[in-house]
Structures are given as C-alpha cells and as structure tokens.
Amino acid sequence: MGKPYRPKDHFFQRAKQRGFRARSAFKLEELVGRFGLLRPGSRVLDLGAAPGGFLQVIARAVGPSGLAVGVDLVALRPFTEGWVRTGVVDVLADDAQAQVEALAPGPYDAVLSDLAPKTTGVRGTDEARSVRLAERALELARALGKPGSSFVTKLFMGGDFEAFRAQLRETYREVKVVRPEATRSASVEIYLVGLGLGALTGRQ
C-alpha cells in the first residue's frame, strides 16, 4: 500500500507559490530538464491539457516565437499568452486529428500527453483504458510530429506496458521510462519519453 493521498502536499503548495494550475507542471519541468524536450520557437501539442499545468510550462519554454496548443474534453481557462491555443477535443474521436489541425496544423516539435482515464477501481479495466489513451496519443504523435520530434505519454503500469514500449521503440530513436519526483507515492502512473521520431523507421 502506498502512502495516503494528501491533497495539499509539498508539490501542491509549491504549485500555488509559483502560480501553476496543477502540480503536474513539476512533472513536465523534470522531463524537460532531463531530456531537453522544449525550446524557444518550438511548436508543441499538449493532449489532456486541463487544467493547464503542462501548458503553462510549455508556453514559458517556447515563448512568443513558438506555439503551445492544448486540447481536452473540457474547456481550459483562457491563457493570456497570444501563442497559446486551446480547444475542446475528444482524442478518441475519429476526427480528433482534424480537430487539432483546425486549431493549428502540424507538424509539431513535440507531442505531450497527460491523458488519463476516469478510474473505475478495477485495476485491469483502468490499465486497459490508460493504454488505449496512450496508443491514441502515439497515433497522433506519429501523424502530427515532425521527423526527429519528441513524445511524452502517461501510462498506468500494467500487463500491456512492454507491448506499448515496444511500439515506441519501433517509432523513436530512444525510449525512456520515468517516474517523476512529483508523482504521488500511491500512484501507479509512469511516463514514457520518445526521442527522435522516425529514426528507426526510415522516415526522412
């Protein structure tokens, strides 16, 4: 058993102090620091963006010369930065790619996903739904990412983990598995990072 959930723990307090909308911002900050995922001028797509913690980090990193696009099932509170665009998109919908490109056409330098299913408490069901969202995020990253781009997705650890990691290894030059420091101790979530889209698939 993990430690009990503490809604106002250290990272919650730090997020408030720094003006972040969610503690998840610290997870992305760690990944950016380790793997150099975001640069000034980059075009970045954030899937499952609400309430906007990832998107805040992205917007600050890419700056006015870049573009930060965030989508979710619910509308995000508006951003003041002119280079941030948001929209309501169901990534599992057949026309999800078209909806994203209506906001801002690709290609993107990075596609980041913090998508998570509504949990049922049934481990196998929750893991399967998590994998489906991660697979959909990967489909969108393949379609919208430029050659050499990066990918990040959240995933609940489970029986299909190795099969999903194998898909990433077929698509990206390097694949890393990370459990960011800001992850709650009781959580089963991890993040997979893909670096170098198309390096192993012959894409130019």
Known catalytic residues are: 154
Q: Which of 140, 130, 145, 121 minimizes the C-alpha distance to 195?
A: 145
Query: What is the DSSP secondary-structure string of the chain?
Result: --PPP-TT-HHHHHHHHHT-SSTHHHHHHHHHHHH----TT-EEEEES-TT-HHHHHHHHHH-TTSEEEEEESSPPPPPS-TTEEEEE--TTSTTHHHHHHHHS-S-EEEEEE---PPP-S-HHHHHHHHHHHHHHHHHHHHHHEEEEEEEEEEEE-STTHHHHHHHHHHHEEEEEEE--TTS-TT--EEEEEEEEETTTTT--
Residue pair 107/145 in contact by the 8 Å Cβ criterion:
yes
Backbone angles phi, psi at 26, to 5 degrees: -70, -30
